[in-house]
């Protein structure tokens, strides 16, 4: 439960962020808990995240602003591990470095700045620019369907087997219920966007319209067809606080360094053979 001071401070900050929202950022506290905030970062232009809809949470401690919040991003981005606590100077990983003068807007601006950089930390992942653009094209689908776990259908578009799942779809999910609760207007816009662009809710893939008069899909929807090389087709799930998210999308360390590892193995074998040979000849 929030202290009186935390409640007062967060209520004031909510009013301020409503009246003067930072660019590409919206946020609000949950109706049930003022310590639980939900934010949407819209990917800024000229970045791999352009146009993406990135949903996450800030969990504030009861004694805020004298301690920082836990920061998570639930939407797969190719930058952060979904639903994982992020280690930032503005997060609960570094309570001693947190400045009580910092506000919700300060925290989210800092998160946006870190997201668009290439600095690595606990909770961040490596992915190519192409992969991050591909994830950006799927964010609205992912948020409103719970990663393809929804049972809602779009007539004439949805798969015959609505539980089939597609690239990036997840098995365990809430069907987008939590996102819909916190962002009902955005959720409805997302479903209209999926219907207009003929995006299958269970797979996140474009379903081509049949017939000679079929209209071409938008460039944004067309990007959903172009799966980037190297992206793991089987993304795992993270279920935390009723939110499901895809697991780390970065390639494994072994796969990225297989050439160097092979060279080291050969070098070690040759060195060992030479040492054994010298030991045998001395006998």
Strand ranges (E), the chain: 25-29, 36-42, 53-59, 70-73, 237-240, 243-246
Nearest Cα neighbor of 199 from 226, 222, 173 is: 222
Give the SS3 label for residue 237: strand
Catalytic residue chosen out of the listed positions 59, 87, 167, 207: 87
> For residues 268, 269, 271 and 276, what is the CA-based torsion angle, rounded to 10 degrees?
140
Q: Which residues of 215-232 are buried (b: 16+ CB within 10 A; e: fewer)?
A: eebeeebebbeebbeebb
36: β partners: 59
Nearest Cα neighbor of 105 from 61, 58, 143, 53 is: 58
Based on the residue annotation, tell me whether 217 is a catalytic residue of this protein. no
Neighbours of 184 (CB within 10 A): 10
Nearest Cα neighbor of 77 from 20, 142, 32 is: 142
How far apart CA 197 and CA 48 sit, in angstroms, is 21
Integer-rounded Cα Rg, in Å, for the chain is 23
* 179: Cα within 13 Å, side-chain hemisphere: 32
Active site positions, annotated:
87
């Amino acid at each position: 439960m929030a202290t009186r001071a935390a409640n007062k401070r967060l209520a004031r900050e909510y009013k301020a962020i409503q009246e003067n929202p930072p660019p590409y950022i919206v946020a609000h506290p949950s109706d049930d808990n003022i310590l639980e905030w939900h934010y949407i970062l819209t990917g800024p232009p000229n970045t791999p995240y352009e146009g993406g809809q990135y949903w996450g949470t800030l969990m504030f401690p009861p004694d805020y602003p004298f301690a920082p919040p836990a920061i998570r991003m639930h939407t797969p981005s190719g930058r952060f591990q979904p639903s994982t606590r992020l280690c930032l100077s503005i997060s609960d990983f570094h309570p001693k470095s947190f400045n009580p003068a910092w506000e919700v807007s300060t925290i989210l601006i800092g998160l946006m700045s870190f997201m668009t950089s290439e600095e690595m930390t606990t909770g961040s992942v490596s992915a190519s620019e192409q992969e991050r653009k591909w994830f950006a094209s799927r964010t609205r689908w992912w948020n409103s369907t719970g990663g393809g776990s929804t049972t809602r259908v779009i007539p004439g578009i949805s798969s015959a087997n609505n539980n089939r799942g597609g690239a990036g779809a997840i098995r365990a999910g809430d069907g987008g219920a939590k996102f819909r609760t916190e962002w009902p207007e955005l959720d409805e816009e997302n479903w209209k966007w999926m219907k207009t662009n003929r995006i299958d809710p269970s797979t996140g893939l474009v379903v081509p319209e049949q017939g000679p008069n079929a209209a071409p899909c938008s460039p944004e929807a067309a990007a959903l067809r172009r799966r980037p090389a190297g992206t793991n087709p089987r993304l795992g799930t993270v279920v935390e606080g009723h939110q499901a998210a895809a697991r780390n999308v970065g390639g494994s360390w072994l796969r990225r360094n297989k050439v160097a590892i092979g060279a080291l193995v050969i070098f070690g074998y040759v060195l060992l053979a030479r040492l054994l040979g010298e030991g045998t000849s001395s006998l």
